[in-house]
Structure 1
Amino acid sequence: MLLTFITRMTLLSVLLLQTACDNSVLAGNKHSLAELQNLQTLGAEAKTKQLPILLIFSAEWCEYCEVLKEHVLHPMSINGMYEGKVVFLRNVGIDEPEPIPDWHGNPIKKSKWAYQINADLTPTVVFFDGNGKEVADRIIGISEVGLFASLVHVRINQAYANMGLTKRIPATPELLEQQQAR
């Protein structure tokens, strides 16, 4: 009963957030988060730029995945402050049938890989280095959409530290924007 109440309140919060959101940004575009096409290539690029890779494991039928992509990851992917500068952002559609090259160039289905690494509960956000090593704590599910971007920033900084990098980003997207505007 308590779980049902919490679930309903979470859904209500998400719906209110969606209603309050400026839908003109999203009109005609569910999200522009790039789909993962090749782990080997992405890993090589991440190694070259010494950046972590953020992968959201999602499914087309997952409403929470869409909320997360539309309200947190889509804005991060389109604003030009993150991709290739702070982190590489990619969607991993676990319901897509076509295999992709894994970290070593071998073909693997996304659903099988998600199952192998225990990321088949959607949405799950996993942070990797360019070698395929997990470098920050996972984020599983959504508790509060408004705080999710800050949680992603915490994990990016954790990934930097675990990769032996000295760079850090501010706690929120707004602070990152201010920093990059200077």
Structure 2
Amino acid sequence: MHTNPTFITNWLFALALWVTSLAPTAIGAEAIPEANDFQALQQEMQRKGIPLLLAVRADYCGFCRQLETEHLEPMLRSGQYDARILIRRFDLGSEQTVVDFNGERIDADEFAARHQASLTPTLLFLDAEGKEVAERLLGYNSPDFYGAYLEDAITTAQRALN
């Protein structure tokens, strides 16, 4: 069997392009740090004097992924929000144990229940004590106006701390 070197070269080039196209997705998937120790986050929030934007999400939620890629990940990458708000994600239905703001180790489902976060996506805006300081944003259906709602909620959360 004779193998055409041009075919192999083209095939390898196509494979390299395909792998490269996957890279932003793989990088973006980890762009939002996961929240599992809220007492440590509390200390960071107090040190920086900023609130927490907690994105309550689920792996099966397509709207969650869309919200992350269209808004939250670009916000993190830009660096423009670093001094305004701490952005973290929380996976609903996770079987992990988390450390609550008071230092108590609880199931992730219990944490979600305490914050009445059962729908995805939900964005919570919390102070260092874990209290909501701006109206939560429920659901995601359009990027057109969502950015303005998100910006308003961040500003409200910041003002609540001052």
Q: Structure 2-normalised TM-score?
A: 0.80
Does the CA contact (< 8 Å) of 1:135 and 1:158 recur in 2?
Answer: yes
Does the CA contact (< 8 Å) of 1:33 and 1:90 recur in 2?
Answer: yes
Q: Aligned equivalents of 2:146 and 2:54: distance in 1? A: 14
Q: CA deviation at 1:29?
A: 3.1
- Secondary structure, counterpart of 2:132 in structure 1: coil
Partner of 1:47: 46
Partner of 2:74: 75
Does the CA contact (< 8 Å) of 1:26 and 1:70 recur in 2?
Answer: no
Task: Mark the runs of 5 or more structure 2 residues left unpaired by the alignment.
Answer: 1-20
**Residue among 110, 113, 116 paired with 1:112:** 110
List aligned pairs for 1:147-166, cutoff 5 A: 147-163=145-161, 165=162
Does the CA contact (< 8 Å) of 1:127 and 1:136 recur in 2?
Answer: yes
Q: CA deviation at 1:25?
A: 7.9
More helix by share: 2
Letter of the 1:47 partner, please give it.
Q
List aligned pairs for 1:28-47, cutoff 5 A: 28-31=26-29, 32-47=31-46
Does the CA contact (< 8 Å) of 2:33 and 2:88 recur in 1?
Answer: yes
Q: Aligned equivalents of 2:23 and 2:86: distance in 1? A: 22
Which structure is richer in relative contact order (CA contacts within 8 A, separation 6 or more)?
Answer: 2
* 1:138–1:25 CA distance, 2 compared to 1 (3 A): farther
Partner of 1:91: 89
Letter of the 1:125 partner, please give it.
L
Q: Aligned equivalents of 1:132 and 1:28: distance in 2? A: 31
Q: Structure 1-normalised TM-score?
A: 0.72
Q: Aligned equivalents of 1:27 and 1:57: distance in 2? A: 20
Does the CA contact (< 8 Å) of 2:63 and 2:141 recur in 1?
Answer: no
* 1:146–1:26 CA distance, 2 compared to 1 (3 A): farther
- Secondary structure, counterpart of 1:26 in structure 2: helix
The number of equivalent residue pairs is: 141
Q: CA deviation at 1:24?
A: 7.9
Q: How much is the aligned-residue C-alpha RMSD, in angstroms? A: 1.7
Q: Aligned equivalents of 1:162 and 1:74: distance in 2? A: 24
State the Cα deviation string for residues 110-143 of structure 1 (Å, max 9, x = none): 2221122211100000001111111000000013
More strand by share: 2
* 1:98–1:24 CA distance, 2 compared to 1 (3 A): closer
Task: Mark the runs of 5 or more structure 1 residues left unpaired by the alignment.
Answer: 1-22, 166-182
Does the CA contact (< 8 Å) of 1:52 and 1:130 recur in 2?
Answer: yes
